[in-house]
Chains A and B, each alone.
Chain A
């Protein structure tokens, strides 16, 4: 324990938390420095996580005990590939979003609230990271609540009535979800006597035999609770309003990261704590698989009917969350890899699309898809990058969306459920139907001014993140090797238990 590298998980969580509390104070005296601090924290943490990854590569995955107190008394953090993978995604993507937020915020959030925006953002990042690492039920509950409040406030910070309303709806439904989660934790604690995930898992077999009702009810409550928060299909009603009305950087982080973290936590609990016996007793995996398929198709169909570009992107998120659940509930190694890799790929694509849509709104104020005729002539870089994101979403080979779809399809085949390949193909078709018309309209629309392409006239701080994300989409579509290696280890960890 003398190696300082083992403390990295705590350091990563705490730097974001401390940054969140410093932001308003710093903003009062040195307003210029707040953004800089926020923009520094995320990449530095990502770097630390890479160091941690190297460390874990050399040895075994381990549990970190807060303050050196072992589990029955202390709080544990699980340092494994899944946690590091998710935490890396959180920090890399939020670093890019924060870069973009610098200039975009001026249009959407009142000037004196900027420092509070950074507070909320860093708080959200800290809570999500803690959720990825948590190995303790009660910590999961507390950080879920922190993430919920921060996420709601990130929507409500924009002084428009739609935002306040969407935020309130999100808050009420999330609270119902949290209530269910807390009740489920109480039921589990009642029969196992522990909150630590490992200890609960050890006692699960005996508890499930003696008190099957408790275990089944808590499993159902957990699925509904986290399902609300991660917008699993019939429980997604809060998502479209919340994600479409929020300021663009908030939309990007909510859609690209927040919903998936809850999915990861739910999957981790179901697979590592409840384990094979409980899953064998009730067809939980098959049920989630079917719900996820419905989510994929229904989300795409809803998106098809939208006329507002951000609403369209929000409904598309409902469908994409379905992919993640589907991949993991296939319970084959390739399927799980597909689900996990889609967390990363979708974080890239959806962040890119929301930021590009935000750039269009920032520059022109246009939100309706029918108004976007020939917009590519005015904003060629933005629309080129938007097209990359759209093609990724559809799953054209060479873009990163294709990689996750390929793994999902192979996983469905491996699991002996080839029907779901059909679902994936159908949804690709639907994705094409609602994404490609935007691209076609933008580049070939009748409204295009004659001849020449103008310059975007976007500030560099907005163009740069867009281009980075676009390049990343192509890079991980062509050379996904190192990413897949990490995902394979994470998937192996989930499936092995």
Chain B
């Protein structure tokens, strides 16, 4: 019961782990290379959501000090700032992976990893 009530209270942690697992599953099991890359992005989104929600407090606002300087609860800005870097890393990984898929398509004429494996086996 403890775990269940913990999950209900922290539903965003639960949601982000579910997203992470969906992404990882897509990445490792789908044979379509583009879908693998989409899975990679979904997985990263799950982690980003998780990290950002660590720094979140209920009713908190962005850490910009108002002019009178009082009476506002701020969220922890550090995780959000770090995830900004994480997003940049994710974008570059995606771009690189997509360019590799284009190259693979030039050589094999398909974006399906099973078909590519089949072609390689026949070559041997």
- Interface size range on B against A: 20 to 34
Contact in complex: B54, A175 (CB < 8 Å): no
A392 close to chain B: CB less than 8 A: no
Report A-chain residues with C-beta under 8 Å of the C-beta of B104.
161, 164-165, 168
Contact in complex: A145, B89 (CB < 8 Å): yes
Q: How far is the CA of A161 from the CA of B36 in the complex (A)?
A: 19
Report B-chain residues with C-beta under 8 Å of the C-beta of A171.
93, 96-97, 100
Q: How far is the CA of A148 from the CA of B100 in the complex (A)?
A: 14
Report B-chain residues with C-beta under 8 Å of the C-beta of A145.
89, 93
B80 close to chain A: CB less than 8 A: no
> Smallest CB–CB gap between B6 and chain A, Å?
11
Contact in complex: A186, B107 (CB < 8 Å): no
Give the most central of A152, A186, A190: most B CB within 10 Å.
A186
B82 close to chain A: CB less than 8 A: yes
Contact in complex: A168, B101 (CB < 8 Å): yes
DSSP class of A's interface residues: helix, strand, loop or mixed?
Answer: helix
Report A-chain residues with C-beta under 8 Å of the C-beta of B44.
179
Which residues 111-158 of A have a CB within 8 angstroms of B? 138, 141-142, 145, 148-149, 152-153, 156
Report B-chain residues with C-beta under 8 Å of the C-beta of A183.
20, 47, 50
> Smallest CB–CB gap between A212 and chain B, Å?
14
> Smallest CB–CB gap between B81 and chain A, Å?
10
Give the most central of B79, B100, B103: most A CB within 10 Å.
B100
Contact in complex: B103, A164 (CB < 8 Å): yes
Contact of B82 among A138, A149, A168, A176 (CB under 8 A): A138
Report A-chain residues with C-beta under 8 Å of the C-beta of B92.
149
Contact of B27 among A142, A148, A172, A190 (CB under 8 A): A172
Contact in complex: B97, A182 (CB < 8 Å): no
Report A-chain residues with C-beta under 8 Å of the C-beta of B24.
176, 179
> Smallest CB–CB gap between B103 and chain A, Å?
5
A251 close to chain B: CB less than 8 A: no
How many pairs, one residue from A and one from B, have CB atoms within 8 Å of each other in the complex?
70
Contact in complex: A161, B54 (CB < 8 Å): no
Q: How far is the CA of A138 from the CA of B96 in the complex (A)?
A: 22
Q: Closest residue of chain B to A152, judged by CB?
A: B96
A186-B93 CB under 8 A given contacts A161-B107, A165-B104, A165-B116 = no
A329 close to chain B: CB less than 8 A: no
Report B-chain residues with C-beta under 8 Å of the C-beta of A164.
100, 103-104, 107
A189 close to chain B: CB less than 8 A: yes
A463 close to chain B: CB less than 8 A: no
A167 close to chain B: CB less than 8 A: yes
Contact in complex: A172, B50 (CB < 8 Å): no
Report B-chain residues with C-beta under 8 Å of the C-beta of A172.
27, 36, 40, 97
Q: How far is the CA of A67 from the CA of B103 in the complex (A)?
A: 42
Q: Closest residue of chain A to B33, judged by CB?
A: A168
Q: How far is the CA of A406 from the CA of B93 in the complex (A)?
A: 42
Contact in complex: A179, B43 (CB < 8 Å): yes
Q: How far is the CA of A153 from the CA of B96 in the complex (A)?
A: 8
Q: How far is the CA of A175 from the CA of B98 in the complex (A)?
A: 14
Q: How far is the CA of A167 from the CA of B98 in the complex (A)?
A: 12
B7 close to chain A: CB less than 8 A: no
B9 close to chain A: CB less than 8 A: no
Which residues 84-106 of B have a CB within 8 angstroms of A? 85-86, 89, 92-93, 96-97, 100-101, 103-104
Q: How far is the CA of A145 from the CA of B28 in the complex (A)?
A: 19
Q: How far is the CA of A152 from the CA of B40 in the complex (A)?
A: 16
Contact of B89 among A142, A167, A190 (CB under 8 A): A142
> Smallest CB–CB gap between A178 and chain B, Å?
8
Q: How far is the CA of A399 from the CA of B85 in the complex (A)?
A: 45
Report A-chain residues with C-beta under 8 Å of the C-beta of B103.
156, 164
Q: Closest residue of chain B to A182, judged by CB?
A: B47
B51 close to chain A: CB less than 8 A: yes
B11 close to chain A: CB less than 8 A: no
> Smallest CB–CB gap between B64 and chain A, Å?
19
Report A-chain residues with C-beta under 8 Å of the C-beta of B79.
186, 189
Q: How far is the CA of A439 from the CA of B51 in the complex (A)?
A: 54
> What per-residue 1/0 map shows which CB atoms of A183-197 lie under 8 Å from chain B?
100100110000000
> Smallest CB–CB gap between B35 and chain A, Å?
11
Report B-chain residues with C-beta under 8 Å of the C-beta of A165.
104, 116, 120
B12 close to chain A: CB less than 8 A: no
Contact in complex: B100, A161 (CB < 8 Å): no
Contact in complex: A186, B116 (CB < 8 Å): no
Report A-chain residues with C-beta under 8 Å of the C-beta of B96.
149, 152-153, 171
Q: How far is the CA of A172 from the CA of B101 in the complex (A)?
A: 12
Contact of B51 among A142, A149, A168, A182 (CB under 8 A): A182
- Where the two chains meet, the residues of B that have a C-beta atom closer than 8 Å to any C-beta of A are 20, 23-24, 27-28, 33, 36, 40, 43-44, 47, 50-51, 54, 79, 82, 85-86, 89, 92-93, 96-97, 100-101, 103-104, 107-108, 116, 120
Q: Which 10 A-B pairs have the closest CB atoms?
A: A161-B107, A186-B51, A145-B89, A164-B103, A168-B100, A190-B54, A182-B47, A179-B43, A175-B40, A183-B47
A-B contacts, 28 of them at CB < 8 A, read A138-B82, A138-B85, A149-B93, A149-B96, A153-B96, A156-B103, A164-B104, A165-B104, A165-B116, A165-B120, A167-B100, A168-B33, A168-B100, A168-B101, A168-B104, A171-B93, A175-B43, A175-B97, A176-B27, A179-B20, A179-B24, A179-B47, A182-B47, A182-B86, A183-B50, A186-B51, A189-B54, A190-B54
